[in-house]
Amino acid sequence: MRRQQGIFRAVPAAVIPKRNERSELAHSRVRAGKARFHTPRLAARLEPHSGSGHRALPWGMIPFIIVLITCAPGSDVNGPPFSVDLLPPVLQSAKTLDERHISFLFDEPVEIAATEVVVVPPIPVDTMKTEEKKLTIGFGADQDIGEAYTLRMSVADEAGNSLSFLYCFSGWNPRVPVLLVNELNPRGSGNTPDCIELFTIRGGNLGGLCLRIGTDNRYSEEIVFPAIEIPDGEYILVHAKAVGSTEEIDEHDDLDESGGLLATDTARDFWIPGAPGLPGNNGAVTLYARKGGPIIDAVIWSDRADDTDDEKLGWTSEGYIFASDLASADAWISEISDVPYPSESVNVSYSTATRSLCRAEVPEDSDTSIDWHTVPTRGQTFGRPNSNEIYVP
């Protein structure tokens, strides 16, 4: 009996073959005399995924998974395939249940492969319970709101194939505020760089909220907010094209701490260092309650025409991903099809650096483009009530 070791990478779940197909793939490579093999890559869209890098990776996961595989081919590697499970469990999703519990769902029943579970920063692990394909971790203390944690552990299936993985998550926030994406200028300029304004409908704690330029399955940058209490009616201004000035300060306390282009004393300023800004023609901004959590609010914009003969409905490839993600989360509504057409997004055609896209002064939220308009030249109002004036070409 020989032991083989495989390496697993991450890809969209739609391309993952069924377990028997993956086993046949592994067997065929063993029969071909290969000492090492690759399997289809894992994708887990973590509950209703981190950081920069390749955005096809699953929510909240460190961009690698270390997997050890035990196989049992016979002495004749040219013989028929075997009914032996050669593959480790696949992590399909993860969910933060409350301040003391996290659950993981795998593609087959699992057991704890090692009793040691390491969490950084340290938080005691009180219980580990497996029930068929589900594993629940219980902590002995509450998670700190918005704290960035990393968990390391190992599981195994009934055949002894093991999976060691790292999982990143934000500390549970019991007081998530109600916020709207309220204004943005995706076609900013040097003196009027790209910004995203959030408006607080109901106050709470910002800790762990995640704002992405894009959506789950495709985003260019993100910001995870620190644990800060915010009141009703507060404006939050996220600068999406920071220049790296020493004046660019995230405002944890006073609203007048930050300088820099478009910084304002009437909003809480945050900066995304090195961010490329917002897409000018086809883009989306999505605010999540936490990494892997539900969408709080989102907006999608485009300058493209509908195409009923196109499988992407007229969208660019990236735009179609944005539209599909928001539709599947019920965060943007289409009256035509399951996935919104470009005409159902906010029309960015007339926007400029100072003609921002915004909601009404008293914002409405129907999750459709009817909530939005383009203001006249120099009509942007970051950090102040929105203008109801509409640009007329």
| Structural domains in the chain (count) | 2
Cβ–Cβ under 8 Å, residues 112 and 130: yes
For residues 52 and 174, the model is more confident at 174
Q: Do 204 and 93 share a domain, yes or no?
A: no
Structure confidence at residue 83 (pLDDT): 67
| pLDDT, tens digit, 9 for 90 and up, residues 277-322 | 999 999 999 999 998 899 999 999 999 999 999 999 999 999 999 9
Q: What is the pLDDT of residues 350-393, one digit of tens each?
A: 999 999 999 999 999 999 999 999 999 999 999 999 999 999 99
Determine contact, residues 292/151, Cβ cutoff 8 Å. Answer: no
The two three-digit tokens of residue 55, written as one number = 């955005």
Indicate the pLDDT class of residue 100, thresholds 50, 70 and 90. very high
Q: Is 385 inside any structural domain?
A: no
The residue among 138, 170, 202 that closes a domain is: 170
CA distances to 208, 280, 385 from 102, rounded to whole Å, are 15, 38, 40
Residue burial 68-84, b: 16+ Cβ < 10 Å; e: rest: bbbbebeeeeeeeebee
Residue 94 forms part of a structural domain = yes
Render pLDDT for 19-40 as a digit per residue (tens, 0 to 9): 444 444 444 443 444 333 333 3
Which band of pLDDT confidence, cut at 50, 70 and 90, is reported for residue 273? confident
Domain CATH for 238 = 2.60.40.1260
Distance (Å, rounded) from C-alpha 361 to C-alpha 370? 14
- The answer to whether residue 389 sits within a structural domain is no
Distances (CA, A) of 153 to 45, 56, 128, 138, 165: 19, 23, 11, 13, 6
220-256 confidence digits (pLDDT tens) = 999 999 999 999 999 999 999 999 999 999 999 999 9
In the structure, what pLDDT confidence band is assigned to residue 69 with cuts at 50, 70 and 90? very low
* Same domain membership, residue 233 and residue 138: no
Write the CATH number for 115. Answer: 2.60.40.1220
Which one is predicted more confidently, 195 or 46? 195
Would 386 be classed as within a structural domain?
no
Compute the average pLDDT of residues 82-103.
90
Going by C-beta distance under 8 Å and a sequence separation of 6 or more, which residues neighbour residue 314? 304, 305, 306, 307, 341, 342
Residues 56 and 97 in one domain: yes
159 and 20 belong to one structural domain = yes
Residue 142 sits in the same domain as residue 36: yes
- State the Rg of the chain over Cα: 24
CA angle 384, 389, 393 (to 5 degrees): 130
Going from the C-alpha of 159 to that of each of 9, 40, 64, 86, the distances in angstroms are 21, 20, 23, 8
Query: What local confidence, expressed as pLDDT, does residue 60 receive?
Result: 39
What pLDDT is recorded for position 80?
A: 55
* Sheet containing strand 101-106, strands side by side: 91-98, 101-106, 134-139, 125-131
Q: How crowded is residue 338: how many other Cβ atoms within 10 Å of its Cβ?
A: 9
Burial class (CB in 10 A: 0-12, 13-18, 19+), 281: middle
Same domain flag for 10 and 150: yes
Amino acid symbol at 6: G
Same domain for 15 and 115? yes
Inform me whether the pLDDT recorded for 77 exceeds 50: no
The per-residue pLDDT for 78 is 53
Query: Is residue 363 included in any domain, yes or no?
Result: yes
| Helix ranges, the chain (H) | 19-31, 317-328
Residue 142 lies in a domain: yes
Read off the pLDDT of each residue in 132-160 and give the average, rounded to a whole number: 96
Q: Do 314 and 198 fall into the same domain?
A: yes
Q: Is residue 382 in a domain?
A: no
* Same domain flag for 317 and 213: yes
Percentage with pLDDT > 90 across the chain: 76
pLDDT at residue 8, rounded to an integer: 34
Q: Above 50 in pLDDT, residue 262?
A: yes
Q: Is the pLDDT of residue 327 over 90?
A: yes
Residue 188 pLDDT exceeds 60: yes
Q: Which domain holds residue 96?
A: 5-170
- Same structural domain, 46 and 120: yes
Question: Same domain for 22 and 166?
Answer: yes
18 shares its domain with 127: yes
